[in-house]
Amino acid sequence: MVRMLLDKDIRPLSDFRAGAAGCIRQVHDTKRPMVITQRGRGVAVLIDIKEFELLQERAELLQDIGTAEKQIREGKVHPHSDVRELVLNRK
């Protein structure tokens, strides 16, 4: 994900409401997320759909890595030679 520019990518909710199409276009064109604020506090983030999909894929990969590390710690592993033999003998 492209890094946010604080002077361009933080918008009050009122500005977003008045120019939603322009905000969406900016996010799409720049691939930078946009923070929407309400009463001076961040309440939402607008991101490009492709960037969102990449974030989901990364989160899933990190979760899979965490699961694998836990299985290793718990000894739930199989030697490479056993798995290789099992795969090669499939019919």
pLDDT digits (tens, 9 = 90+) for 30-88: 999 999 999 999 999 999 999 999 999 999 999 999 999 999 999 999 999 999 999 99
Segments making up each domain of the chain, as ranges: 1-47, 49-91
| Residue 15 confidence (pLDDT) above 90 | yes
Over residues 5-15, the mean pLDDT reads 92
* Tokens of residue 17, six digits: 């409401």
Taking domain 1-47, whether its CATH number is 3.40.1620.10 is answered by yes
Residue 32, C-beta contacts closer than 8 angstroms, at least 6 positions apart: 2, 3, 4, 5, 8, 9, 26
| pLDDT score of 1 | 76
- pTM higher than 0.85 for the full model? no
| pLDDT score of 45 | 97
What whole-number distance in Å separates Cα of residue 74 and Cα of residue 84? 22
